[in-house]
């Protein structure tokens, strides 16, 4: 039996368009002789549809489209489509109105419906807001073959692997008891650093435990702040990774289940699976038991994720060009490079807005960067505007010292100019703040925080440096296409080497106000991601006063983050959808002894 | 037996401060001879603590403080405190780490712990993110009296009242079967228009059905976007509302349960329950069966809610003064009046920023308003700044027509000046956009949307008018204290009567771009709050082209709302915490036929 995986990139809410993606994949699957086609979780709606699910018209149209799709699909092919199905008993039983379902379509009609059993409510997930958990083990048969159906989180309650249980039930155990031959999974599993390795290691473990091979079909594409990496894969009965689909791009593959061997077998469908780039294309791993996709925590994977996130946000929001401010600093340099790769340098406009406090090298560095990337630039000096603000506020600010207010005015002048360009020419404005700055509030609300998408707001400053160094290295060649030229450094080395500075007053450098970034990032990671207490962080070797100050700054900056642009998520604890923190609060407990 | 209700206003995360509020209330309860003291849901933490609950240090300190509190409370008094309790079996059973609990403290120790059974996940609520639902019916005894304990949502699954079930279980039915004599409830039930009447009608119905009297203790105070109105109350066995505590302010009351009559009895504790204002003080209703608090949907209750929301956000964020732009329009006039009432006119600074497009009457109207309210003003004309932006952008914008870009520059100049004042003097900036504008995007991101709190962003424009008319009427006298003077109109009548205009180009009025506000607000309410389809709204009598345009504008403005300041919530479908909509999406289904 042949099983096709359609690693699709749906647009949220585009029921008609997503339906067409499924139909195209089904035609391809038919041509390749597949018996079964898998699509990702909620493939008809796009994941996550969020409060669109509360709209009865949305649900009604999805239901109508599902039936229409069933009728145009190749009749013999079994196709599993993800959609939200109404819960008929909701009102009677006091349940949620919908199920997160996998629907088996064949011969022009809905054959079976399977409901997701484990509903995540952590991080960015709100599935209990919309869905009732399914109560039954899900499977269907093709010929003699008993195929278990799971949806995303259903696979993630592997108690032995995690060392703890996350849900009462374990669908894999239940399916094992039912004696299924194969488990398929429809996923929309967000990317985070190292996540691909975690998934394959977990499913390797599950297969070894259950003895049942697994085919895992994941969504790909950026949807607002969340990036789905795809990286669909299959694990045979021995726990070997026999097929990996592309990461960070759409893909399609056909696998074979050998009824005699009672296992998935590698390759064999005549497709060319050789890599075009190491990073991102389907790879035939049938001859190996290596479970890692690539070295974890790599700059290459973060780069690819951010490029996809920018590309899809621009495209799905209906833009074709972007604009950003080029300060001559490393953050805007990285964002410009990502944008150039994502949508082509010809669609990127960099704006230099030097002030009297800008150093000469800032302008030169920005110009050199623009030249390296091949992007257009505009130069709009802000000295006159600074003077006019000073004059306008002169009486009111009389006899007050230069301070945060004046520094922020500069940043907000730049933000205003960039938004004027965005409004005038219809370019999407990208903001360039990194996670370290966003954490401690070293950024200006309505100034440099302006933008429709915060490209690197989940990237710590130390990682910004490492990404830029990687980009300049030989390792990135191929991965950074289509950014010319690749023969020489992309990020001017002076941008990497100089002391970081906001240049909002003469001679200012970031480390006037902040600890060194390697120190800061370690404190932030301990506090934000690991929930370590002030005492624990000090015990790890950090200075007490510094730790207390950083933790306080993080708390005090909540009001800025609440109004930040959606930021591409690459960590397990990003600001944004999955960060739900009160603003008006006391956090005296933070420094409690 | 005497039962005290402490209607507290906790600060989120201020475990020590909240503990002191409980202790003070307990001392008062002891003096008044109470046997039992009720506090609101999660009274030790403040509701909603949100992701603070994910911080193990926060939970540990709450646990320590609970034990310490138990030891200093009057030993004979039974006190029920709301807090998050660890779920010891979480890892073993695959459950959430915490319970939302009511803890009975007496004689220096924890006597019993009760867990909330029904966990809301709709609107602003995310309780499944943190809590495991309790499985048992909760009760304890004082003497012969069997007292059932419920927490907020536990009371809201009244299938007969709502005509549908929302959860599988019904704690009230279970407690009825157990034969409890009385039900107490710890709540943190957010305000929305008419909500107080809904609560009392529902609990009247529950009491009639069960025959068990109920004492309902609700949190009061503003926490970010959510306003808790208090309005705690008690319903006797006949279903009569025998006591109502203040709305929108802290309050304390002692009720009596008569063991012979087996019912709550009104008054009788010697407290003076006479109203000081109709709206906001405890009222003895023992002689009446009137279940309504006051006419529903009243301007008075919305006014009081917004005043409380502003006052608490300012105070809990550590500010003492606010600043806002005064355009001479009705939105900023209303916000200035609310702020003056909330924190005193001496703490409100109004800034006039006329442009060459501002009409003379705008400045005069704003000046008159400021005089009426007694607030300070500053005047910062923006003509020079507009010219300097024009000059700075001159080459780039050459031969392009005046449009949205130029209009927004004006708004952003004002936003920049207001933030400069906020930064310089430490005033909290209030933004003044209404819900109608926020819905269709008739507002400037990083311009008039700037602010730490969006005071009226859940108030439709038609309601803005009615609030201003009410404020000028005799009915508001007393309710608007401390705003002097009350003898005359507060909002200059010209501000109410003139055609609304953003004044961003000569002769502009809102109705150049938008339908009349009564039409717009009806379409918006149908679409946003009632999920009516385009067809349904047209069928209700609206013009097809207008409906389609409005629905499209709402969708296209999602990116602005995502970056909006927290806005005080007064409806059941507010933008903000409880509005979770994708930005990058297709909404072709909206106009699907």
Question: How far is A160 from chain B, CA to nearest CA, in Å?
Answer: 12
The residue among B416, B417, B422 with the most chain A CBs within 10 A of its CB, best to mutate, is B416
d(CA A119, CA A561): 28
* A chain contacts of residue B380, beta-carbon cutoff 8 Å: 392-393, 396
B205 has pLDDT over 70: yes
**Minimal Cα distance from B316: which residue of A?**
A584
**Cα nearest neighbour of A49 on chain B:** B582
Written as six digits, the tokens of B306 are: 């917004």
In chain B, residues with a C-beta closer than 8 Å to the C-beta of A378 are 396
The backbone region for A8, taken as left when phi is positive above 0, alpha when psi lies in -120 to 50, beta otherwise, is beta
- B436 and B583 assigned to the same domain: yes
- Work out the minimum CA distance from A418 to partner chain B, whole angstroms: 10
Report the C-alpha gap between B258 and B334 in whole angstroms: 48
Backbone φ, ψ for residue A4 (5° rounding): -100, 145
Of B15, B54, B589, the CB nearest to A58: B589
One domain for residues B208 and B327: no
Tell whether A265 and A316 lie within a shared domain. no
Q: What one-character-per-residue DSSP string does A28-56 give?
A: HHHHTT-SEEE--TTTTT-S--GGGGG-H
Among all residues of chain A, which has the CA nearest to that of B309? Answer: A584
Number of Cβ atoms within 10 Å of the Cβ of B573: 17
Q: Hey, are the CB atoms on A589 and B54 less than 8 Å from each other?
A: no
- The proportion of chain B whose per-residue pLDDT surpasses 90, expressed as a percent, equals 87
Instruction: Measure in Å the smallest separation between the Cα of B61 and chain A Cα atoms.
Output: 7
Q: How far is CA B175 from CA B140, B213, B586, in A?
A: 11, 12, 48
Look at the pTM and tell me if it is higher than 0.90: yes
When CB atoms are compared, the residue of A404, A562, A585 closest to B12 is A585
Same-domain pairing of A284 and A342: no
User: Domain boundary at B297, B328, B351, which?
Assistant: B297
Do B139 and B38 have their domain in common?
A: yes
Nearest CA in chain B to A396: B378
Q: Is the pLDDT of residue A296 over 50?
A: no
**The domain spanning residue A321 has which CATH number?**
3.40.50.620
Residues A309 and A211 in one domain: no
| Cβ-defined contact of B52 to A562 (cutoff 8 Å) | no
Please tell me the distance from the alpha carbon of residue B376 to that of residue B369, in angstroms, as a whole number: 11
CA distance A105 to A101: 12
Q: Could you say which of A122, A533, A565 has the minimum Cβ distance to residue B563?
A: A565
How far does B255 lie from chain A, in Å, by closest CA? 32
What tens digit of pLDDT does each residue of B441-473 get?
999 999 999 999 999 999 999 999 999 999 998
Percent of chain A with pLDDT over 70: 92
Encode pLDDT of B520-553 as tens digits: 999 999 999 999 999 999 999 999 999 999 999 9
- Comparing A281 with A328, the larger pLDDT belongs to A328
- Residue in B382, B533, B559 nearest the CB of A57: B533
Does B26 share its domain with B40? Answer: yes
Tokens coding B106: 């007496």
| CATH code at position A139 | 3.60.110.10
Considering the domain architecture, whether residues A54 and A113 belong to the same structural domain is answered as: yes
Neighbours of B321 (CB within 10 A): 18
Q: Which of A54, A559, A565 faces B452 most closely, judged by CB atoms? A: A559
Structural domain for A480, as ranges? 300-591
Catalytic residue numbers of A read 41, 116, 152
Q: In angstroms, rounded to a whole number, what is the distance separating the alpha carbons of residues A572 and B369? A: 50
Q: Which residues of chain B make contact with A380, given a CB cutoff of 8 A? A: 392-393, 396
Question: A520-550, pLDDT tens digit by residue?
Answer: 999 999 999 999 999 999 999 999 999 999 9
Q: B527: nearest CA in chain A?
A: A55
Over its C-alpha atoms, chain A yields an Rg (Å, rounded) of 26
pLDDT digits over B364-379, tens only?
A: 999 999 999 999 999 9
Are A282 and A288 contacting, i.e. CB atoms less than 8 angstroms apart? Answer: no
If asked whether residues A310 and A225 sit together in one domain, one would say no
Question: Is A224 within 8 Å of B121 when comparing Cβ atoms?
Answer: no
The mean predicted confidence, pLDDT, of chain B is: 92
Specify whether A267 is located in the same domain as A318: no
Residues of chain B with Cβ-Cβ distance to A222 below 8 Å are 584
A383 to chain B nearest CA, in Å?
10
> Facing residues of A445 across strands?
none
pLDDT for the residue A7: 98
Q: What is the mean pLDDT of residues B334-343?
A: 96
Cα–Cα dist A204/A215, whole Å: 11
Q: Quote the CA–CA distance of B147 and B496 in Å, as a whole number.
A: 53
Chain B residue numbers touching A389 (CB-CB < 8 A):
385, 416-417, 420
Q: How far is CA B135 from CA A214, B116, B120, B174, in A?
A: 35, 9, 15, 11
Kindly state the average pLDDT of the residues A149-178: 95
Percent of residues, chain A, with pLDDT higher than 90: 87
Confidence category of residue B481, pLDDT binned at 50, 70, 90: low
* Residue B548: Cβ-neighbour burial (10 angstroms; 0-12, 13-18, 19+): middle
Which positions of B are catalytic?
41, 116, 152
- Read out DSSP for A419-448? HHHHHHH-PEEEE---HHHHHHT-S-TTTT
Mutate to test the interface with A, among B12, B319, B392, B401 (most CBs of A within 10 A): B392
Beta bridge partners of A454: A431, A567
| Residue in A50, A445, A452 nearest the CB of B559 | A452
Which residues of chain A does B12 touch, with a Cβ-Cβ cutoff of 8 Å? 582, 584-586
Question: In angstroms, what separates the C-alpha of A411 from chain B's closest C-alpha?
Answer: 10
Confidence of residue B271 (pLDDT cuts 50, 70, 90): very low
Rounded Cα distance between A224 and B389, Å, is 32
**Closest to A412 (Cβ–Cβ): which among B157, B416, B445?**
B416
DSSP letters, B79-124, are: EEEEEEEE-TTHHHHT--SEEEEEEEEETTEEEEEEE------STT
Residues from chain B that touch A87, judged by Cβ atoms under 8 A, are none
Q: How confident is the model at residue B279 (pLDDT cuts 50, 70, 90)?
A: very low
CA distance B385 to B525: 39
Q: Are residues A58 and A194 in the same domain?
A: yes
In the structure, what pLDDT confidence band is assigned to residue B293 with cuts at 50, 70 and 90? low
Instruction: Report the pLDDT value the prediction gives residue B592, as an integer from 0 to 100.
Output: 57
Mean pLDDT of chain A: 92
Residue B284, pLDDT above cutoff 70: no
Name the closest residue on chain B to residue A221, using Cα atoms: B584
Nearest to B14 among A14, A16, A586 (CB): A586
CB contact under 8 A, A421 and B396: yes
The residue of A92, A392, A438 whose CB has the most chain B CBs within 10 angstroms, and thus the best one to mutate to test that interface, is A392
Number of independent structural domains in chain B: 2
Tokens representing B536 are 């349904």
Query: Are A424 and B403 inside 8 Å of each other by CB?
Result: yes
Inspect the interface and report whether the beta carbons of B404 and A392 lie closer than 8 Å. no
Structure tokens at A336: 């410009």
CB B279 within 8 A of CB B479: yes
Nearest to B229 by CA among B215, B250, B243: B250
pLDDT band at A247 (very low <50, low <70, confident <90, very high): very high
Above 60 in pLDDT, residue B274?
A: no
> How many beta-carbon pairs under 8 angstroms link A with B?
276
- Taking an 8 Å cut-off on Cβ atoms, the answer to whether A566 and B565 are in contact is no
CB contact under 8 A, B583 and A13: no
For the record, the structure tokens of B59 come out as 């939970």
Q: Say if the Cβ atoms of B584 and A57 lie within 8 Å.
A: no
In this structure, the dihedral spanned by the alpha carbons of residues B295, B297, B303 and B305, taken in order and rounded to 10 degrees, is 100
pLDDT of residue A480: 60
Mutate to test the interface with B, among A118, A589, A590, A592 (most CBs of B within 10 A): A589
A324 exposure class (CB count in 10 Å sphere: 0-12, 13-18, 19+): buried
Q: Are A21 and A42 in contact (CB under 8 A)?
A: no
Residue bearing tokens 């003898």: B487
Same domain membership, residue A268 and residue A396: no
- Residue B378's closest chain A neighbor by CA? A396
Q: What is the pLDDT of residues B99-118, one digit of tens each?
A: 999 999 999 999 999 999 99
What's the pLDDT at A283? Answer: 40
Q: Which residues contact B260 (CB under 8 A, 6 or more apart)?
A: none
Last residue of some domain: B272, B297, B322? B297
* Interface probe, candidates A84, A395, A457, A585, chain B, greatest B C-beta count within 10 A: A585
How far is it, in rounded angstroms, from Cα B257 to Cα B72? 26
Comparing alpha-carbon positions, the chain A residue that sits nearest to B407 is A420
Mark which of B264, B297, B330 sits at the end of a domain.
B297
Residues of A whose CB is below 8 A from B17: 586
Chain A residue with the nearest C-alpha to that of B410: A416
β A322-325/A428-431 pair status: parallel
**What residues of A are in contact with residue B89 (Cβ under 8 Å)?**
none
């Amino acid at each position: 039996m042949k099983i096709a995986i359609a690693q699709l990139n749906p647009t949220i809410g585009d029921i008609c368009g997503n339906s067409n993606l499924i139909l195209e994949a089904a035609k391809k699957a038919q041509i390749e002789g597949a018996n079964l086609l898998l699509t990702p979780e909620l493939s008809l709606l796009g994941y996550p549809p969020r409060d669109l699910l509360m709209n009865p018209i949305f649900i009604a149209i999805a239901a109508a489209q599902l039936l229409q799709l069933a009728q145009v699909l190749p009749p013999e092919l079994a196709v599993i489509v993800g959609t939200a199905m109404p819960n008929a008993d909701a009102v009677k039983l006091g349940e949620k109105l919908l199920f997160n379902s996998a629907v088996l379509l064949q011969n022009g009609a809905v054959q079976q419906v399977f409901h997701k059993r484990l509903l995540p409510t952590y991080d960015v997930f709100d599935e209990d807001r919309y869905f009732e958990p399914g109560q039954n083990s899900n499977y269907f048969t093709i010929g003699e073959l008993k195929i278990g159906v799971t949806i995303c989180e259903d696979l993630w309650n592997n108690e032995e692997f995690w060392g703890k249980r996350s849900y009462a039930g374990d669908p894999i155990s239940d399916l094992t008891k039912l004696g299924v031959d194969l488990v398929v999974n429809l996923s929309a599993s967000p990317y985070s650093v190292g996540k691909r390795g975690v998934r394959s290691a977990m499913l390797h473990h599950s297969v070894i435990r259950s003895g049942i091979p697994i085919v895992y079909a994941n969504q790909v594409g950026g949807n607002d702040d969340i990036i789905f990496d795809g990286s669909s894969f299959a694990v045979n009965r021995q726990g070997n990774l026999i097929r990996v689909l592309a990461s960070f791009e759409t893909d399609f593959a056909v696998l074979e289940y050998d009824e005699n061997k009672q296992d998935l077998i590698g390759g064999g469908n005549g497709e060319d699976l050789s890599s075009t780039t190491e990073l991102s294309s389907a790879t035939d791993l049938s001859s190996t038991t290596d479970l890692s996709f690539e070295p974890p925590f790599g700059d290459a994977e973060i780069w690819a994720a951010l490029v996809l996130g920018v590309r899809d946000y621009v495209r799905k929001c209906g833009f074709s060009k972007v604009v950003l401010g080029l300060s001559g600093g490393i953050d805007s340099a990285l964002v410009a490079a990502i944008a150039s790769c994502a949508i082509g340098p010809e669609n990127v406009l960099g704006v230099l807005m030097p002030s009297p406090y800008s150093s000469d090298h800032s302008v030169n560095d920005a110009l050199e960067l623009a030249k390296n990337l091949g992007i257009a630039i505009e130069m709009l000096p802000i000295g006159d505007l600074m003077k006019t603000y000073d004059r306008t506020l002169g009486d009111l600010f009389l006899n007050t010292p230069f301070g945060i207010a004046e520094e922020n005015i500069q940043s907000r002048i730049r933000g205003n100019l960039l938004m004027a360009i965005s409004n005038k020419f219809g370019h999407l404005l990208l903001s360039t703040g990194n996670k370290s700055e966003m954490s401690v509030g070293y950024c200006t609300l309505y100034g440099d925080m302006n933008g429709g998408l915060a490209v690197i707001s989940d990237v710590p400053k130390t990682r910004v440096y490492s990404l830029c160094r990687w980009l300049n290295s030989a390792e990135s060649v191929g991965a950074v296409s289509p950014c010319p030229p690749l023969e020489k450094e992309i990020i001017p080395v002076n941008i990497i080497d100089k002391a970081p500075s906001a240049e909002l007053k003469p001679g200012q450098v970031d480390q006037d106000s902040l600890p060194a970034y390697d120190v800061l990032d370690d404190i932030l990671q301990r506090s934000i991601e690991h929930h370590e207490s002030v005492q624990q962080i000090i015990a790890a070797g950090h200075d007490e006063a510094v730790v207390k100050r950083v933790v306080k700054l993080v708390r005090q900056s909540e009001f800025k983050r609440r109004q930040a642009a959606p930021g591409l998520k690459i960590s397990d604890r990003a600001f944004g959808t999955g960060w739900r923190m009160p603003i008006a609060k006391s956090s005296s407990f933070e420094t409690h002894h």
